């Protein structure tokens, strides 16, 4: 157990009264600093399975409860109003994180490892964990508490959704060496296994079945776990016919993600270019 966990759980249980506790802000700042440094995480892999750290989510929500609205920026040019407990992060060259000019923003409480590349404009929200060598491309989003592994490419306009509530809900997990194509959306606790490739426009949610044409299986979320994309899977947008009612007469079909192959040398050659951009 982390030393901050009992205090965070105590303050969270106080609800709105936490703002009146004289220790609340000091405890929260220590918590936020540990979150920013990657010392604590909203989810961790234990014995091969991802587990949600509910107390970390409680600490993030505590920051919103005790925070007060403050004005930042230049009111004559571009101003912002947000909770003072979550200021925008500032980076130094010694951190070895590339933040290219053009309107990107990373919130305090988000961990960004060295050699991460942030292409403008993109946004990384509080509680997110972005590991080494990952690229977050233009107009991409890494949502609150999302866990992103090493050497991941989140392509332009892709969204890795955030999950703060309910407290016990698993956040979105993107494991090492995943390629997320442009305009993809990964939401509602979906887990994408290592080295998987999501083609442009793939949408994955808790209610989305994933059809594996290689192994002849259909993957679905369960009552306790979100949808999981197998390691090395290559997923593209597809469609399946609706066989009931007027749908047949009208020839309607529904969107569905489809695994068309598993990663091989040809797939690897197709993504080698990403290394040249780092």
Would you state the structure tokens that stand for residue 219, as one six-digit string?
């993957």
CA-CA distance, 118 to 266, in Å (whole number)?
27
Strands 253-262 and 233-241, by their bridges, are: antiparallel
CA torsion angle 268 173 43 225 (round to 10): -130
The per-residue pLDDT string of the chain (278 residues; one tens digit each, 9 = 90 and over) reads 899 999 999 999 999 999 999 999 999 999 999 999 999 999 999 999 999 999 999 999 999 999 999 998 888 888 899 999 999 999 999 999 999 999 999 999 999 999 999 999 999 999 999 999 999 999 999 999 999 999 999 999 999 999 888 888 899 999 999 999 999 999 999 999 999 999 999 999 999 999 999 999 999 999 888 999 999 999 999 999 988 888 888 989 999 999 999 998 776 766 654 554 44
**So what's the pLDDT on residue 277?**
46
For residues 147 and 160, the answer to whether their CB atoms sit within 8 Å is no
Reported pTM:
0.93
Residue ranges of alpha helices (H) inside the chain are: 5-13, 24-36, 54-66, 246-250, 265-271, 273-276
Domains of the chain: 5-69 (1.10.166.10), 88-268 (2.160.10.10)
**So what's the pLDDT on residue 176?**
98
**So what's the pLDDT on residue 267?**
66
Residue 101 backbone phi and psi in degrees, to 5: -60, 145
**So what's the pLDDT on residue 270?**
62
Pick the closest to residue 192 from 176, 214, 211 (CA basis): 176
**DSSP line for 135-154:** EE-TT-EE-TT-EE-TT-EE
**So what's the pLDDT on residue 247?**
81
| C-alpha 222 chain-centroid distance | 20
DSSP secondary-structure letter at 107? B
């Amino acid at each position: 157990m982390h030393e901050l966990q009992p205090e965070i759980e105590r303050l969270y249980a106080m609800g709105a009264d936490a703002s009146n506790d004289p220790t609340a802000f000091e405890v929260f700042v220590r918590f936020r600093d540990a979150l920013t440094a990657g010392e604590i995480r909203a989810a961790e892999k234990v014995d091969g399975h991802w587990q949600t750290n509910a107390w970390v989510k409680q600490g993030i929500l505590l920051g919103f409860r005790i925070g007060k609205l403050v004005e930042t920026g230049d009111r004559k040019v571009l101003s912002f109003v947000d909770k003072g407990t979550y200021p925008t992060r500032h980076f130094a060259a010694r951190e070895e994180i590339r933040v290219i000019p053009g309107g990107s923003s990373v919130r305090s409480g988000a961990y960004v490892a060295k050699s991460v590349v942030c292409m403008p404009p993109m946004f990384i929200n509080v509680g997110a964990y972005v590991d080494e060598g990952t690229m977050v491309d233009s107009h991409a989003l890494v949502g609150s508490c999302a866990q992103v592994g090493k050497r991941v490419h989140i392509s332009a306009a892709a969204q890795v959704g955030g999950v703060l509530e309910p407290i016990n809900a698993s956040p979105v997990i993107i494991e090492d060496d995943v390629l997320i194509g442009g305009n993809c959306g990964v939401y509602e606790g979906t887990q994408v296994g290592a080295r998987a490739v999501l083609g442009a426009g793939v949408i994955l949610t808790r209610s989305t079945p994933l059809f594996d044409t290689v192994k002849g299986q259909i993957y679905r979320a369960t009552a306790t776990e979100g949808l999981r994309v197998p390691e090395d899977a290559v997923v593209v947008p597809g469609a399946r016919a609706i066989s009931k009612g007027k749908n047949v007469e009208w020839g309607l079909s529904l969107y569905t993600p489809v695994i068309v192959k598993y990663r091989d040398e040809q797939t690897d050659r197709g993504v080698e270019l990403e290394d040249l951009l780092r």
